[in-house]
Amino acid sequence: MSQEKTFRINLPTLFERVNERRREQGLPSVEPAIMAVRASIKFAIRRQKHMDLKDEKGEVEMDEGDADALCQTLGELFNVDLHFDGPETDATAPSAPAASLVPPPDTAGNGEMLVLPLFQFYGSINRERRNKGLQPIEPAVISVRTGIKFSIMQRRTLNFRDNALALSEADLRALDGIVAQQFDANIPGGLRSLCRAPAAEAPAAESPAAPAAAAKGFLSRLFGRNDGKPAQPDGHEAPVHKIHYSLDTSNLLLAIITRRAYLGHKPITPDKVKRRCGKAFSAELELDMDEEKIALPPEQLDAFAEIIRKEFEIMFDDLDDLLGKKLNK
Amino acid sequence: MKEAPEFKHGQTFLGGLNHVYHCNHYNAHLQMAVLLAEGVEDGFDPRQLLRDSATRLVQLLKRRGYGAQDLRDEFTWCGFGHFKDVTADQVEMPGSHYGQSTYLLGAPEKSCYFNAGFLQGIADRVVVETACRHMKGRTDVFEFGAPLPAMTDPLVNPPPFTPVPARFDFLGCEIKGTPVDEAKIVATVATLPLYGKPPGGHGDGLIPAFGVVLTNHYADYYNLISYETYRRMIHAGVPADMTREAFVQCGHVCAFNTFGGIMESPEFHALVVPMCQNVQDWVHGMVAVINALGWGAWRVEKIVPGKELVIRIYNSYEGIGYRRLYPAATEKQLSFLALGAVRGLAHLFWKIDIRERPGLSQDFYFKVFNSEQGSWQVEQTHAIAAGDGFDRIVAWK
């Protein structure tokens, strides 16, 4: 009997996670529909199989290998670091980046090039700066300053417009020094810990001998603690926890007004916000803004966010914070 | 003060040297851009460049008749802070623009290079900063060492000033007019107390205004440190676009903080906003204020709201300054501050809407103003540095 776990993944939630990470790095959000199409194509190439990420139900089921491949695909396509860290990390998951992403030390010591994803580079610098109580630095500034210093030190130019850089051990040591000097940040384990081997991703994920730790990627941890639950070893599907979002309507109005002000949009009165919300939500989602609270099932989340975006030209930094997540077992 | 400021050619002169207002954010980022050049070539030390560029200008002023007290007075008036003698060989700075108001993104270091260089010029001795607020010092402390030989005058060429056309009265201008009264704005800004007061005048030698801390800096200092660094980086093989961008970003930061701070200020809303009927008028209003900063004479050539902004600068401090230092350049994209400032100006109106006073913070700069989303492109089509009659900056989306 196969011991491989399968996951049911809520796509709107996953895509919102990707956009959260992008916004953390100062990057614009990506339309979920665009994300789904691009990820489907890239995933099909990588795994040689079709996965409909535009599934109308908003959920897909996949094994751990596919889940990690999807995680890597989204990471590469949309410049996000999908590794969890900090206190939310599953206790059983490795605290370091997934083992499949980091070659053994002796491999890289033989002159082999390693791949440094730049979204992780920027994210790690700013994570370390925040930990020290320092202001984050825009990726545009980091890339220019690092690019110049690297050119001077290594007499070679890196293209920071790419999504990732191929680097030697010596390059990585130079970059570690640059990051410490220019941005007052020391990445734990060095930048090498953020790297992956150039061709290791697919074989490592597909190999039946791949260590369990390698399969414990972002999705395993995300859906292990959220609404996706692995199937039981006997093949029976585990009970699925559904998230319903309970949203206080007056909090929503306040959040919209505040966010618009933050972005410099012209002020709209609370009454007008309420009227526009009521009209749009009732037509598309059958939600009543006259109620004290409204409840949103997961499949309505992206439509909800899209209405707010179109109607008020805003996107929330963290929808979960706004919505007060409630788990109904 | 040895002499009163003189206004001509769109520039402001003290002791024959052009002075330009810039904020602590610009000064911090420009210094960091210069420090990037460490290791660019054997024998070149960017810290020494930052120090010695100030020394050379001070020595030039001394040759023009400035005494030590004149220099100290001007230092304070320009907003750099003030000196306090501790011993014959030691000076500290209870008020210090570079020590108190600038910052580093990198590892902390003693970084009041301009102050040290200025003191070197006054004393003709080597000056070392021995304590610094950036290193958690109580004040910035400087010690005098060995005698320092005279340095060469950096300004080897005459300034190629050109006549400045009236607003909207030049070939290629697509603006018909505006109710914004530039002359009134420039005259009013000139009356603002934008100078550092000495301790005797109940000041600390700093110029806090519009939410930033200003200096009325030596334009030739900026040009010396910027262009020396840029040329060495290019010579060493650092890609030009990357190098340029490091300096252009300084102007972009400056626009956000200084232009943004000015346009959110009560003074701007009292004086300029009542003249404005639309966003184009706001652009003219801000450009009028810029024309009081000593940066040269800015002229708006074209505004297509949300799409394109074209600015000409006659006698720009960067273009004129470049030609005072070097022969005419073969490239055009050399007015780094202007490139960043015009892009920033466009962002202030059409990436965010500064008219709504969104509130300016570093977090806002990170998440919105300097994010890729909605960013404008910018290019310099004409350059005084390259022999043209004016700088022309085009920003578009």
Mean pLDDT of B316-320: 98
The tokens describing B284, both together, are: 């003219």
Query: Could you tell me which of A96, A105, A104 has the C-alpha nearest to residue A213?
Result: A96
Mean pLDDT of B52-65: 97
Lowest mean per-residue pLDDT among A306-320, B36-50, B241-255, B316-330: A306-320
The verdict on a CB contact (< 8 Å) between A145 and B353 is no
What confidence score (pLDDT) does residue A271 get?
A: 77
Which segment, A56-60, B25-29, B370-374, is predicted with the most confidence on average? B25-29
The tokens describing A39, both together, are: 């990820």
| Residues of chain A contacting residue B354, judged by C-beta atoms under 8 Å apart | 264
In our burial notation (b when 16+ CB lie closer than 10 A, e otherwise), range B176-189 reads eebebbbeebbebb
The tokens describing B210, both together, are: 């519009």
Confidence of residue A222 (pLDDT cuts 50, 70, 90): very low
- pLDDT above 70 (res A212): no
The distance of A81 to chain B (nearest Cα, Å) reads 18
Q: Tell me what percent of the residues of chain B surpass a pLDDT of 70.
A: 100
| Residues of chain A contacting residue B239, judged by C-beta atoms under 8 Å apart | 147, 151, 157
The verdict on a CB contact (< 8 Å) between A262 and B364 is yes
Nearby residues of B219 by Cβ (< 8 Å), 6 or more positions away = B11, B17, B18, B19, B20, B294, B317, B318, B321
DSSP annotation of A196: B
**Tens digit of each residue's pLDDT (9 = 90 or more) over B196-255:** 999 999 999 999 999 999 999 999 999 999 999 999 999 988 889 889 999 999 999 999
Mean pLDDT of B337-354: 95
The distance of B250 to chain A (nearest Cα, Å) reads 10
**Tens digit of each residue's pLDDT (9 = 90 or more) over B107-139:** 999 999 999 999 999 999 999 999 999 999 999
What confidence score (pLDDT) does residue B130 get?
A: 97
The verdict on a CB contact (< 8 Å) between B246 and A144 is yes
The verdict on a CB contact (< 8 Å) between A184 and B107 is yes
| Residues of chain A contacting residue B237, judged by C-beta atoms under 8 Å apart | 151, 155, 157
| B226/B235 Cα distance (integer angstroms) | 14
Is residue B279 less than 8 Å (CB to CB) from chain A?
A: no
Number of neighbours of residue A302 by Cβ within 10 angstroms: 19
- pLDDT above 50 (res A215): no
Cβ–Cβ < 8 Å for B317, B219: yes
| Residues of chain B contacting residue A262, judged by C-beta atoms under 8 Å apart | 358-359, 364
| A268/B29 Cα distance (integer angstroms) | 37
The distance of A248 to chain B (nearest Cα, Å) reads 26
| Residues of chain A contacting residue B106, judged by C-beta atoms under 8 Å apart | 181-184
What confidence score (pLDDT) does residue A248 get?
A: 76
The distance of A294 to chain B (nearest Cα, Å) reads 30
Local structure of B19: helix, strand or coil: strand
Radius of gyration of chain B (CA): 20
Confidence of residue A228 (pLDDT cuts 50, 70, 90): very low
| A138/B365 Cα distance (integer angstroms) | 9
CA dist A137 → A311, B344, B359 (Å): 31, 17, 19
Query: Could you tell me which of A154, A143, A151 has the C-alpha nearest to residue A182?
Result: A143
Is residue B366 less than 8 Å (CB to CB) from chain A?
A: yes
- Which residue of A135, A145, A181 is in closest CB contact with B246? A145
Local structure of A326: helix, strand or coil: strand
| A39/A47 Cα distance (integer angstroms) | 12
**Tens digit of each residue's pLDDT (9 = 90 or more) over B285-306:** 999 999 999 999 999 999 999 9
Radius of gyration of chain A (CA): 22
Mean pLDDT of B341-360: 92
| A255/B258 Cα distance (integer angstroms) | 29
Cβ–Cβ < 8 Å for A166, A160: no
Lowest mean per-residue pLDDT among A85-99, A238-252, B228-242: A85-99
Best mutation site among A22, A148, A179 for testing chain B: the one with the most B CBs within 10 Å? A148
Best mutation site among A262, A315, A316, A318 for testing chain B: the one with the most B CBs within 10 Å? A262
Residue of chain A whose Cα is closest to the Cα of B362: A135
**Tens digit of each residue's pLDDT (9 = 90 or more) over A52-70:** 776 655 778 787 778 877 8
| A253/B309 Cα distance (integer angstroms) | 36
- pLDDT above 70 (res A90): no
> B310 pairs with which residues across the strands?
B302, B394
- pLDDT above 90 (res A99): no
Mean pLDDT of B71-82: 98
> A164 pairs with which residues across the strands?
A117
Give Dmax over CA atoms of chain A in angstroms.
67
What confidence score (pLDDT) does residue B368 get?
A: 75
What confidence score (pLDDT) does residue A102 get?
A: 33
Is residue B368 less than 8 Å (CB to CB) from chain A?
A: yes
- Which residue of A26, A135, A153 is in closest CB contact with B371? A26
Is residue B237 less than 8 Å (CB to CB) from chain A?
A: yes
**Tens digit of each residue's pLDDT (9 = 90 or more) over A259-290:** 666 665 666 777 778 888 887 777 777 777 77
Cβ–Cβ < 8 Å for B368, B356: no
> Which residue has better confidence, B180 or A81?
B180
Mean pLDDT of B90-110: 94
Residue of chain A whose Cα is closest to the Cα of B109: A181
| A32/A39 Cα distance (integer angstroms) | 10
Residue of chain B whose Cα is closest to the Cα of A153: B39
The verdict on a CB contact (< 8 Å) between B36 and A148 is yes
Q: What DSSP line would sit under B341-382, residue for residue? A: HHHHHHHHHHTS-GGG-----HHHIIIIITSSTTPPEEEEEE
| B397/B377 Cα distance (integer angstroms) | 6
Nearby residues of A258 by Cβ (< 8 Å), 6 or more positions away = none
DSSP annotation of B191: T
Lowest mean per-residue pLDDT among A17-26, A239-248, B74-83, B354-363: A239-248
The tokens describing A152, both together, are: 């001077």
> Which residue has better confidence, A232 or A161?
A161
Average pLDDT value over all residues in chain A: 67
The verdict on a CB contact (< 8 Å) between A151 and B239 is yes
* C-alpha B242 chain-centroid distance: 21
CA dist B37 → A160, B34, B246 (Å): 19, 6, 11
Best mutation site among A23, A138, A183 for testing chain B: the one with the most B CBs within 10 Å? A138
Residue of chain A whose Cα is closest to the Cα of B250: A141
Is residue B245 less than 8 Å (CB to CB) from chain A?
A: yes
Lowest mean per-residue pLDDT among A86-95, A283-292, B43-52, B155-164: A86-95
Cβ–Cβ < 8 Å for A314, A308: yes
The verdict on a CB contact (< 8 Å) between A148 and B106 is no
| A153/A192 Cα distance (integer angstroms) | 18
- pLDDT above 60 (res A243): no
Number of neighbours of residue B309 by Cβ within 10 angstroms: 26
The distance of A229 to chain B (nearest Cα, Å) reads 35
First to last CA, chain B: 46
Cβ–Cβ < 8 Å for A226, A327: no
| Residues of chain B contacting residue A182, judged by C-beta atoms under 8 Å apart | 32, 36, 105-106
| B147/B151 Cα distance (integer angstroms) | 12
Q: Tell me what percent of the residues of chain B surpass a pLDDT of 90.
A: 88
What confidence score (pLDDT) does residue B25 get?
A: 94
What confidence score (pLDDT) does residue B343 get?
A: 96
CA dist A318 → A83, A85, A219, A321, B103 (Å): 17, 17, 19, 5, 30
Mean pLDDT of A217-241: 39
Q: How many residues does chain B have?
A: 397
- What region does B162 belong to: left with phi over 0, alpha with psi -120 to 50, or beta? beta
- What region does B63 belong to: left with phi over 0, alpha with psi -120 to 50, or beta? alpha
| Residues of chain A contacting residue B257, judged by C-beta atoms under 8 Å apart | none
Cβ–Cβ < 8 Å for A9, A61: yes
C-alpha atoms less than 13 angstroms from C-alpha of A68 in its C-beta half-sphere: 24
| Residues of chain B contacting residue A180, judged by C-beta atoms under 8 Å apart | 107
Burial of A39 (0-12, 13-18, 19+ CB in 10 A): buried
Compute the count of residue pairs across chains A and B with CB atoms less than 8 Å apart.
Answer: 98
* C-alpha B109 chain-centroid distance: 22
Name the CA dihedral angle for B175, B178, B182, B184, rounded to a multiple of 10 degrees. Answer: 160
- pLDDT above 60 (res A296): yes
| B315/B326 Cα distance (integer angstroms) | 16
Cβ–Cβ < 8 Å for B360, B297: no
H-helix or E-strand containing B81?
strand B81-87
What confidence score (pLDDT) does residue A251 get?
A: 75
| A261/A255 Cα distance (integer angstroms) | 10
What confidence score (pLDDT) does residue A86 get?
A: 34
- Which residue of A149, A157, A267 is in closest CB contact with B239? A157
Nearby residues of A168 by Cβ (< 8 Å), 6 or more positions away = A111, A113, A114
Q: What DSSP line would sit under B93-105, residue for residue? A: EEEEIIIII---S
Tell me the whole-structure pTM to 2 decimals: 0.68
> Which residue has better confidence, B325 or A53?
B325
Residue of chain A whose Cα is closest to the Cα of B230: A148
Lowest mean per-residue pLDDT among A117-121, A249-253, B261-265, B345-349: A249-253
